[in-house]
Structures are given as C-alpha cells and as structure tokens.
Amino acid sequence: MGLQPLEFSDCYLDSPWFRERVRAHEAELEKTNKFIKELLKDGKNLIAATKNLSAAQRKFAHSLRDFRFEFIGDAETDDERYIDASLNEFSNFLKSLEEQREILALSVTETLIKPLERFRKEQLGAVKEEKKKFDKETEKNYSLLEKHLNLSAKKKELQLQEADNQVEQNRKHFYELSLEYVCKLQEIQERKKFECVEPVLSFFQGLFTFYHQGYELAKDFNHYKMALQINIQNTRNRFEGTRSEVEELMNKIRRNPQEHKRANHFTMEGYLYVQEKRPAPFGSSWVKHYCMYRKETKKFSMIPFEHRSGGKVGDAELFVLTYCTKRNTDTIDRRFCFDLEASDRPGVPMTMQAFSEEDRKLWMEALDGKEALLINLNRVNAKREGSAQLDKIGFTIIKKCISAVETRGINDQGLYRVVGVSSKVQRLLSLLMDSKTCNEVDLENSVDWEVKTITSAMKQYLRNLPEPLMTYELHGEFIVPAKSGSPESRVNAVHFLVHKLPEKNKQMLEILVKHLANVSKHAKMNLMTVANLGVVFGPTLMRPQEETVAAIMDLKFQNIVVEILIENHEKIFKTQPDASLPEPIPMSVAPPNAPPRQSRRQGQRIKRPLAVYNLCLELDDADSHSSPREDTPTGSMDSLSSPSPTPAFSSSPLGLLDGNHLIMDSGDLAGWTTNLPAQSRPSMVSWMNIPSANPAATDAALPTFFFPSPATGTDRAVESVAHRKARAVYPCEAEHSSELSFQIGAIFEDVQFSREPGWLEGTLNGKRGLIPQNYVQFL
C-alpha cells in the first residue's frame, strides 16, 4: 500500500496518526532526495567517463591518421593505395563518431544533470525549509500552550483574557502553517514523478540519437568497408603469389649463390679484410671493408664498415689497380690473402684477406691476379625445361586445352587455381608436345584427364616457352602503366603495347585472354574473378629476365596488366591503338605525381621529377678510350642501365656528376646533356623525351637553363627552343591559380621551361600557366 493522503482537517486535530502519516511522507521525500543525489553523482561520472572515452578514441584516431605504410619498390597498386588511405578513413570515421559523443555528453548535462539539480534544490529544498518552520512552530505552539495552562486561576481577569487571545492567535498561525506544509508535501509527492523521470527520458533520447547517428555513420561506411575488403583480399592474393616466388628465389640462391648474382656495373664486390700497418711496436690490424671493382676502368673502391659498431660507414677510398698477386701462407700467417698495388702508390702493396679460398679465387679471377685459377661460374641460367615453342603444335595445345576447359569445367570452383598431380601433368604435356600423339589426345571426351590436369598442363606449357608470351623486351613497358596514371590511360598504354608484340605472341595472347574473359563471366560458380585470374596468370604471361626480389615485388603489377587485358580484351585486340594518343613514356621520365612547387613547401628539400636516381653509373676518367656500344638503339634504356663501356656518370648523395657539373634537377639535366660526348647525346635526349635525329640537332632541342660555368664562374645559357608544342600524357587538376588543368591529349602552345624546377610554362585555350614537366610529351 502507498502513502496515505494527508487530510487538511487533520491539521486541526494534529492527532498522533496524522503526525505518523506526515513522517511517512517526509521519509519518502528524503529517500527521493538521496536517490537524486546518487543519480547526479553517477551522471557526472558518466560524463567524465564519456569524455575520457572520447579523448582515448580521438587519440586512437590520431594514431591511425599519422601512420603511413612504406612499400617495397617504386610504386603501389590501386588496392595498396586504398589500403594505405584506409587508416585515414578509419580516423575520420572515429572523429565523426566522437563528435556525436561530445554532443551526447553535452546533452547529458543539459537534459539530465541540470533539471535534477534544479528539482532537488528548488522543490525538495523548499520542503526542507517548510519542515523546519513546521517543527519550530509546533514546538512554539505546544510550549506556549503548556505555559498558558499553567497560569494560576487567581490571576486577574484581564490578564487571563490577554493570555487566551495570545494562545488563540498562535494556534491559528500554527494551523495555517500546518495546512501549507501538508499541501507542499503532497504537491512534491505528485510532482516528483514527472520532474525526475522526464530528464531521464531526455537522457535516453539523446543516447538513442547517438546510437542512431552511429548506425547512420556505419551505414554510410558500409560501401567503403565492402570495397576495402575486396582491396584487402586482392592484396592478400597477390601476397600469396609473391611469397611463393620469393621463397623459390631464396631457395635457388641458397643452393647456388653465384649463379644468381645480380647484374651490375661492378665486376666483383664484397667484404674483404684490409691489413693496416702501424708503427713497429704496435704491429698491424685488420679492418673489414666493403670493396667494389670495375674491370673496364680498373677502379677499386673500398669503404670501411663494421656491423658490430651499429653499422657505421667510414670514408670511401678509390684507386686505380696496377696488379694483384696471391699471398701464400709461407709469407704471411693468415690464410686466403692477396696483395693489391695502386697506381698512385707504386711499390706499396696492400694486403687483403678474403673469407674463404673460394672467395679468394673469385677475387683473383676478377682482378686478373697472378696464379688466378680460371673458374667456370656457370652464371648463365639453365634453359627452362621442355621445348615449348609458339609454333603450330603450340597453338594446337592451347586451343585443345581451352576447348576442353570450356566444355567440361568452366564452372569448376578454383579453376586454374587448383593444380593437378605433377606426374599426370608432365605425361599429358609430353603427349601434347609430341607431333605424333598430339592429335590423338582427346581432352573433351576422355575421363582420363581431369580438368585440373588440363589447366596445369596449359600453364606449364606457357611457362616453358623460351620467352614469356608478353616478351622480356616489353616487360618493363607493360609494368609502367600499371603503376601510374588514370584507368583510361592504363588501358590505352596496354592497348598500344600489345600491338608492339610479335604477331604470334599477340595471336596466342588474344586466344588466351578471350578464354580468361569467358572464365571470369562464370565467377559466381567458379569463384575465379578477374583479380583471381590476374594472380594466376600474371607470373605466367609476364616475367622479368633477371630474377630478383625487386622484380618479384612487381608481380602485383603484372597481375594488374593481365586484369586490364581481360577486362578490355575486345578493345585491345579488335581495334588498333589511337594514333592521336602519345606513346607510353618510361616511368623514369613520367612519374605519376607532379613535382612539388617551392611556394607550397617552403623550407623542404624538393624531390625532383626526373628519376635520375635510377642511374647508377660510375664516372670514367676523362682519358678513357672506351667506345660506345653500337648495338644500343637511340633512346634505349640499355644505354643508361646496362654495364657497357659507354661514357658513364657517377652517382652522388646530391645528384649526378659529369666532370665538373652537379646535376640537381630536371633543368640541370637538360644543361648537363650539352656536356656529354656527342655519341652519348641522342640516347640521353631520347630518354628525356626530347626528340633528336642527330647530335647536332640535340643542341638545338635543349631548353634554356642557366648555371655557373666551372671555367669562368659566370652564368651561361644553353640554347633555348621557343614556340614548342607538347601533348598531355596524363590528366592533371590545378592546385594553384598559376597552374593549368588539363586532360589526356591536350595540346599546349608556346611551351618553354620555367624557372621552377620540374615545371614548364605553356598556353592552353588562351590561358598561360604552369605545367608539370613529367605530364607532357614534346611534339
């Protein structure tokens, strides 16, 4: 049963039962007061915890935003770029969520804390004050009554009458106060039901709003989340393929390191211990150096390096080798030693110690040392197994396999991913590659050959070709568009390159890609999406001539090229490339990002647009008699990267050196070419994408660029070409009013080199502005 009502008539009786009911009401209000006090305390703790959670979430979001993944190689796939950007997206999502949480924390204060505090202070506090008055008046009333009743009857009538009037007046005041107090008690009992619950309801409304906002954010985020899951899955699939290739290369190198030595311009390089002689009492010490030798120039360089001292690199020493002699153990108390003599220190041999006898033999052979043993290093990679060729039998094999797959197993899950038994695959491949038995093999109707055996045999045949279907020569060019540019420019570049393939290669590729496109149409059943087919056939159709980890890191871009082929096979194979579009440009000439403007990045070191760091060539002596390679065509990258006796250039931490000039940016590079030997200019100019028919024309085609002449110390200018035209090979969106926005194929008039490194000035549609140099091709 609830509280009994307080009747106003009972105020005049003031019975014990009335007083008991009043105390019950007072106890209930006291309990309500304690409840509200505790609720306010918990609410404030909730706000503090919410703010702490919000601060922690924001810190977490900042950590996500500030982290950047580093990648191996010189470019990322689109999937990897989206994954990199995902951390920033997650950060923005949390930031939006925390903004809503802050609104919730503010609403708790306004809708819950303040109303309850106001009710407790204004209503319950007022009742407490009324109770104090009521208790005080009760005490006064009954004290006066007792005193009045104790008056002697012998008092004068006037005195007794005055006392009676005073008591009566006091009683009336007491009754009025009692009525007001009883009214207030009952009012508060009824008011508390909505005054307390309404703020709590508002709090929950704010809470529901917060959760609804979170739901809306999650719903908006769902599309991005689904796309990101696909990016992650694609990247994981490519990782699995790359990992297996890396492990295979690691095992090959583990079995025979010398066969897989990377090709570079050094004849021999590695660690040697060098004897450093000291004054007589101290004897000598042996210091580990990293040594490099180039036989063409007889230059020997060595750098002291100690792994145990934190990898500190010492000063490099360079000298020209005169001779090398083997040291026997009867002349020195150490094994594996040999002597070197430098041209600038005749008669003062330097003693070196190799790690092993085999290592010493390699160094002695490279250095043309006396008593050097000629060792057959067998550096030439063995020819791939099998004798697969792009001949009539080869086309028959591919067509028979494709017909069988499309007839029997195009809906098989994991088609081309599930491999067959190796012995069965080899047996089928042997039968197919034999002209006597090839036509007798019935793949469409025979149950002897499983679909996975047929698909594995087909892939094995393509891998056994002497050269990959998309050729070694075009491998690097196919990789470039996969690393940069818009989707449209990628398709155009691959379209152009496919038509540069030998006719048989192109025909075979068309047959295969058409089949793969058909396979991808059944992806709901066979689960082989375009991305999955790219993972499977990327390493099969494309592979670099030299197996290195860097090349394997490009596997993911090979996969992208295959994906482009599958998705656009109709356009690529059925139509000719658009002659109005420019040819694809090597990536070292046209990186996808515009060079940073000095005005945007004050105080920061500018990264140059031309990838001059790709050149790692050593400075030859001025009196070098080496002649340039005649078999290297003009504009070929071989003229820059292959270890040939062409006049070469040294690399330095700051740039490239050509005699006395330090090349710092693209503008310097233009001036640098004028100082090259005449026979080197055409290929360099072609590499810079400045057409030239002969060395004489090269000088006329170079842009203006001022730099100090080492001879005179004055500024001199390379001849400039005015009124040049250029075509855009990449789209660009201007980030500043001084820059031009343009699409692929836009033609610029009156193009000149800007004073700002890496930028050109040109006119487009009547507007003059800056153009990123690596986004255009001169006409």
Q: Two tokens at 668?
A: 């310097």
- Would strands 312-313 and 299-306 be described as parallel, antiparallel, or unpaired? antiparallel
Question: In the prediction, which pLDDT does 622 show?
Answer: 36
pLDDT of 630 above 50: no
Asked if 427 and 382 count as a contact pair (C-beta separation under 8 A), the reply is: no
pLDDT band at 604 (very low <50, low <70, confident <90, very high): very low
Question: In the prediction, which pLDDT does 296 show?
Answer: 87
Asked if 725 and 778 count as a contact pair (C-beta separation under 8 A), the reply is: yes
3-state secondary structure labels for all residues of 9-52:
CHHHHCCHHHHHHHHHHHHHHHHHHHHHHHHHHHHHHHHHHHHH
Q: Which backbone phi and psi does 419 adopt, to 5 degrees?
A: -95, 155
Residue range 433-445: average pLDDT?
A: 87
- Would strands 706-708 and 661-663 be described as parallel, antiparallel, or unpaired? unpaired
DSSP string, 300-368: EEEEEEEGGGTSEE---EEEEEEEEEEPPTTTSSSSSEEEEEETTSTT--EEEE-SSHHHHHHHHHHTT
User: Which is nearest to 228 in space by CA: 352, 63, 89?
Assistant: 89
Question: In the prediction, which pLDDT does 561 show?
Answer: 92
Question: In the prediction, which pLDDT does 278 show?
Answer: 65
Question: In the prediction, which pLDDT does 7 show?
Answer: 87
Burial 342-351 (b: 16+ CB within 10 A, else e): beeeeeebbb
Question: In the prediction, which pLDDT does 268 show?
Answer: 87
Q: Two tokens at 678?
A: 């005449």
Residue range 338-367: average pLDDT?
A: 88
Q: Which backbone phi and psi does 710 adopt, to 5 degrees?
A: -65, -25
Chain centroid offset of residue 707 CA? 38
The better pLDDT of the pair 602, 469 is held by 469
pLDDT by residue (tens digit) across 644-688? 333 333 333 333 333 333 333 333 333 333 333 333 333 333 333
Distance CA 676, CA 657 (A): 11
3-state secondary structure labels for all residues of 558-574:
HHHHHHHHHHCHHHHHH
- Would strands 284-294 and 268-277 be described as parallel, antiparallel, or unpaired? antiparallel
pLDDT by residue (tens digit) across 531-560? 899 889 988 999 888 777 777 788 888 889
Q: Two tokens at 246?
A: 């890396």
Taking the CA atoms of residue 232, residue 236, residue 239 and residue 243 in that order, the dihedral angle to the nearest 10 degrees is 150
Domains of the chain in start order, with CATH, are 12-68+75-126+194-252 (1.20.1270.60), 268-367 (2.30.29.30), 392-574 (1.10.555.10), 726-778 (2.30.30.40)
pTM metric for this prediction: 0.51
pLDDT by residue (tens digit) across 230-270? 889 888 888 887 888 888 888 888 887 766 666 667 788 88
pLDDT of 718 above 50: no
Distance CA 758, CA 607 (A): 10
The structure tokens 């009743």 sit at: 149
3-state secondary structure of 172: helix
- Total Cβ atoms within 10 A of residue 553: 17
Instruction: List Cβ neighbours of 344 (8 Å cut-off, separation of 6 or more).
Output: 319, 320
Minimum mean pLDDT range among 97-101, 190-194, 255-259, 417-421: 255-259
pLDDT of 374 above 50: no
pLDDT by residue (tens digit) across 156-209? 888 888 888 888 888 888 889 889 888 988 888 888 889 889 999 999 998 899
Distance CA 260, CA 252 (A): 8
Asked if 242 and 555 count as a contact pair (C-beta separation under 8 A), the reply is: yes
Q: Two tokens at 401?
A: 């396999």
User: Which is nearest to 402 in space by CA: 485, 517, 241?
Assistant: 517
Question: In the prediction, which pLDDT does 687 show?
Answer: 32
Asked if 304 and 315 count as a contact pair (C-beta separation under 8 A), the reply is: yes
pLDDT band at 49 (very low <50, low <70, confident <90, very high): very high
In one-letter notation, the amino acid at residue 161 is Q
pLDDT by residue (tens digit) across 465-490? 989 999 999 998 898 888 877 888 88
Rounded percentage of the chain residues whose pLDDT exceeds 90: 22
Asked if 321 and 340 count as a contact pair (C-beta separation under 8 A), the reply is: yes
pLDDT of 318 above 60: yes
Taking the CA atoms of residue 493, residue 497, residue 498 and residue 503 in that order, the dihedral angle to the nearest 10 degrees is 160
Beta bridge partners of 290: 271, 303
